């Protein structure tokens, strides 16, 4: 009799022990009925693809520039930050990690507590890592891509031994036509296994697909940004179709600051905009509204404009941006006018 799925949550330690034992038997060439046949088939494919159960790193890890490019190409780019934030727990006590991949299983966004992020770094569960079956063997993300449904991978169900301390619940995110755009995954140490994780993932996927269907997933889709005007008294964002979005003074200041660096933390933006490093919730709300209003690809954690959008910012192409947001009197904008 195979390992009963209910044991995954009712007794995660027992499930982990039995699944890890079955993993050892199967990879040694023995027969085991403890695991789902789909998992065993996925293991065979993993081995055939050249993945080793003792492998530590994915076969492919994108550079920072390649991650930015991959984010810019996925239709999930405009909704990723809102979806990940809705499911994540970044508090010190947070137990789970949230990741969002593209359609190929490449991890492009993640969020979690400092401790969970540290643990994830130890197994290269980070931005740019290929967590497809061919990238790192059987895991929750690869199973979701293979089956097209919500899946679990707990302890020994992972092909790579280094992942046996984790449990993962993942589900595809689809567009209105049913095409898989990526995978939303919630992972945490095995001892925290809970049936509630599936509900959390389903809620995140429902939000993602609702935002995509409503158009929140891309004012810039089909009408990408071609110019960002921050010089003069009427700041605006211009799109390829000729339409423009006027910016309020505060959103113009936020956009000018985002353009001035490759990346910002929420605390540093809070200090620059409001003189208060604790106003991070306000900053997050403003970034979200700016993203939805303009269609700009603003990454989170840290906050950053896509490279191609930074190239559209007018004040960055002039030597002396004296006319940068003349209405603004915040020190950070004044410094930018003077090239500081």
Q: What is the structure's pLDDT at 1?
A: 45
- All residue ranges of the chain with pLDDT < 50 are 1, 217-223
Q: What is the structure's pLDDT at 217?
A: 46
Q: Residue 152's beta-bridge partner residues?
A: 169
What are the pLDDT digits (tens) for 137-184?
999 999 999 999 999 999 999 999 999 999 999 999 998 888 999 999
Which tokens belong to 93?
């006590």
β-strand pairing of 244-246 with 236-239: antiparallel
3-state secondary structure of 132: coil
3-state secondary structure of 109: strand
Query: Could you tell me the domains of the chain?
Result: 7-214 (3.30.450.40), 225-337 (1.10.10.10)
3-state secondary structure of 253: helix
Q: What is the structure's pLDDT at 221?
A: 43
Q: What is the structure's pLDDT at 169?
A: 97
Q: What is the structure's pLDDT at 216?
A: 57
Q: How far apart are CA 189 and CA 120, in angstroms?
A: 10
- Burial status of residue 11 (CB atoms within 10 A of its CB: 0-12, 13-18, 19 or more): middle
Long-range contacts of 331-339 (CB under 8 A, 24+ apart): 331/272, 332/253, 332/257, 332/272, 332/273, 333/253, 333/256, 333/257, 336/256, 336/257, 336/260
Long-range contacts of 217-220 (CB under 8 A, 24+ apart): 217/75, 217/76, 217/78, 217/79, 218/75, 218/77, 218/78, 218/295, 219/78, 219/292, 219/293, 219/294, 219/295, 220/78, 220/294, 220/295, 220/296, 220/297
Q: How far apart are CA 309 and CA 259, in angstroms?
A: 9
Q: What is the structure's pLDDT at 306?
A: 86
């Amino acid at each position: 009799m195979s390992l009963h799925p209910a044991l995954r949550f009712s007794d995660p330690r027992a499930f982990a022990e039995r699944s890890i034992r079955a993993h050892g038997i199967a990879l040694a060439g023995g027969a085991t009925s403890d695991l789902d046949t789909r998992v065993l088939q996925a293991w065979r494919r993993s081995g055939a693809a050249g993945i080793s159960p003792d492998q530590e790193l994915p076969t492919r890890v994108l550079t920072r520039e390649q991650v930015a490019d991959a984010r810019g190409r996925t239709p999930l780019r405009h909704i990723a930050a809102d979806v990940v934030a809705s499911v994540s727990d970044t508090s010190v006590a947070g137990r789970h990690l949230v990741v969002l991949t593209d359609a190929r299983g490449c991890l492009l966004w993640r969020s979690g507590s400092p401790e969970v992020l540290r643990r994830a770094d130890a197994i290269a569960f980070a931005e740019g890592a290929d967590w497809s079956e061919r990238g790192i063997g059987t895991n929750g993300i690869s199973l979701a891509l293979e089956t097209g449904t919500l899946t679990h991978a707990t302890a020994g169900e992972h092909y790579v031994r280094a992942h046996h301390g984790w449990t993962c619940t993942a589900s595809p995110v689809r567009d209105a036509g049913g095409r898989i755009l990526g995978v939303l995954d919630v992972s945490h140490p095995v001892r925290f296994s809970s049936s509630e994780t599936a509900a959390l993932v389903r809620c995140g996927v429902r939000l993602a697909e609702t935002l995509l269907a409503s158009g929140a997933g891309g004012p810039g889709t089909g009408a990408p940004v071609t110019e960002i005007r921050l010089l003069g008294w009427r700041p605006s964002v211009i799109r390829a179709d000729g339409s423009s979005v006027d910016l309020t003074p505060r959103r113009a200041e936020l956009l000018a600051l985002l353009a001035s660096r490759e990346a910002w933390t929420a605390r540093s933006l809070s200090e620059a905009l409001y003189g208060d490093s604790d106003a991070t919730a306000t900053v997050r709300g403003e970034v979200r509204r700016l993203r939805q209003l303009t269609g700009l690809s603003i990454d989170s954690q840290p906050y950053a404009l896509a490279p191609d959008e930074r190239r559209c910012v007018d004040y960055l192409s002039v030597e002396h941006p004296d006319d940068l947001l003349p209405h603004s009197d915040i020190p950070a904008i004044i410094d930018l006018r003077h090239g500081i």
